[in-house]
Amino acid sequence: MPTSRMFPPMGFVYILECADGTFYTGSTKNLELRVAQHQSGEGAIYTRDRLPVRLVWSEEFARIDEAFGWEKRIQGWSRAKKMLLIEGRGNELAGWSSRTRRR
């Protein structure tokens, strides 16, 4: 029988747009639940004061640790760079190819 050690849970990286126009980047194993938590004020402190929030982008990864790594990377990006992802222009970002993400 498979164990969680053999098959780590998949993960998601997501970007929320807050009511004040700022972006919040996070990662989770359950995207639908996490967005609902943010929307209800049970998410991060950052989003609690900026409700409502709207999911504007997400990407699924085979492993949660990969998603977490990309969360941290994206958090350091400029607004303009995040907009490329949101607009579906991720191919214009250096290092965002599917080959690079699967290393």
pLDDT tens figures, 22-32: 999 999 999 99
Report the 10 Å Cβ neighbour count for 19.
12
| Structural domains of the chain, ranges and CATH numbers in brackets | 11-96 (3.40.1440.10)
At 2 the pLDDT is 47
| CA–CA separation, 93 and 97 (whole Å) | 8
For residues 22 and 50, is the Cβ–Cβ distance under 8 A?
Answer: yes
List per-residue pLDDT tens for the chain, 103 residues long: 444 456 667 999 999 999 999 999 999 999 999 999 999 999 899 999 999 999 999 999 999 999 999 999 999 999 999 999 999 988 888 766 555 555 4
Non-local CB neighbours of 31 within 8 Å, separated by 6+ positions:
12, 14, 55, 58
At 6 the pLDDT is 62
pLDDT tens figures, 5-21: 566 679 999 999 999 99
At 63 the pLDDT is 93
